[in-house]
Amino acid sequence: MKVLRPEFDLEAFRSSVESADERVLILDYDGTLAPFTPDRDLAAPYKGVKERLAALHRQEHTRLVLVSGRAASDLDRLLNMDPRPEIWGSHGWERLRDGKYEPPTIPDRWEQALLEARDACLKVAGESQCEFKPASVAVHWRGRENNFRKDVEQRLLPAWSGLASRLGLEIHRFDGGIELRCPGRDKGDSVRTILSESPPEAVAAYLGDDRTDEDAFAAIRGRGAAVLVRKELRDTGADLWLTPPDQLLEFMDLWII
Ligand SMILES: [Mg+2]
């Protein structure tokens, strides 16, 4: 574990987690709890993570939340937890909580744009590399040869850029692909809502690996720890860096009391 911001006091944070009456632990999934796999439908957590998630979820004074760019239903399937934890999917557009589903409300023009983006994605990348979500379409190139990526950049990106500028959608690059997203929500919004629903004295942390997690890191600043989970360090606004899986498991154990 490495402290990245000198203002962050790891020892003080450790003891506040141990002594807190209320805790909020917010976790990204892909790249954070689960290593990347060429077939993202099979992304399983690191060994030891599932048991810890279950233990955390059983604790009365810990609110366990998963926040992901995946569709909420997709993450629910991969986690396969009973009882289910709270899940924010599609970068905060939808939520599963207490067995209830809060769907996204997306304007018709964006729904139409997503359909067009989907067709373009299928044509260039093929079904196995496209991911269709309630508020976005993503194309993945992890595990594919360089030519595939070049093809996506040259043929799909211009089509998506046209749609994005015509209808006000956003293009985001992530670790392993590109996504065309409805604007207005990101993981930072999810974190702000979660914290606003939690007692102000609750000790909180957010764990993530990707660029899309930087919004969440910024949102938790001043309220808890922003933790980058990644084999290699990169530019980040996080307070703390840990490498999975060993340091991740160690960090999760801190919260299991
Ligand atoms: Mg991730």
**CATH number of the domain where residue 176 is located:** 3.30.110
- Band (92; pLDDT cuts 50, 70, 90): very high
pLDDT digits (tens, 9 = 90+) for 206-218: 999 999 999 999 9
Tell me, in angstroms, the distance from the centre of ligand 1 to residue 221's CA.
19
- Give me the domain span that covers residue 112: 108-181
Q: Could you tell me what percent of the chain has a pLDDT over 90?
A: 95
pLDDT digits (tens, 9 = 90+) for 234-244: 999 999 999 99
Q: In terms of domains, do 165 and 222 share one?
A: no
Helices (H), 126-240: 146-151, 157-167, 187-196, 214-220
**Helices (H), strands (E): how many in the chain?**
9, 13
Looking at the fold, whether 64 and 130 belong to one and the same domain comes out as no
Q: 68 CA distance to ligand 1 centroid (A)? A: 7
* Ligand 1 mean position, distance from CA 159 (Å): 26
Where does the pLDDT of residue 221 fall: very low under 50, low under 70, confident under 90, or very high at 90 and above?
A: very high
Overall number of domains in the chain: 2
| Residue finishing a domain among 137, 159, 181 | 181
Q: Give the model's pLDDT for residue 177.
A: 94
The confidence score (pLDDT) of residue 39 equals 87
Q: Which of 159, 181, 203 is the last residue of a domain?
A: 181
Structure confidence at residue 200 as a pLDDT band (50, 70, 90): very high
Same domain, 76 and 196: yes
- Which residues have their alpha-adjacent CB atom under 5 A from ion ligand 1? 28, 30-31, 209-210
Q: What distance in angstroms lies between residue 33's CA and the mean position of ligand 1's atoms?
A: 8
pLDDT digits (tens, 9 = 90+) for 5-53: 999 999 999 999 999 999 999 999 999 999 999 888 999 999 999 999 9
Domain boundary among 141, 162, 181: 181
Packing angle, helices 246-254 and 10-19, rounded to 10:
50
Q: Are residues 93 and 127 in the same domain?
A: no
pLDDT at 243: 98
On the question of pLDDT at 136 being above 90, the answer is: yes
- pLDDT level of residue 203 (50, 70, 90 thresholds): very high
Q: What is the pLDDT of residue 130?
A: 96
Would the pTM count as exceeding 0.85? Answer: yes
Q: Are residues 20 and 87 in the same domain?
A: yes
> Which H or E run contains 88?
strand 86-89
Contact indicator for 179, 138 with CB cutoff of 8 Å? yes
- Does residue 194 sit in the same domain as residue 99? yes
Give the pLDDT band (50/70/90) at residue 175: confident
Please report, for the domain that includes residue 85, its CATH number: 3.40.50.1000
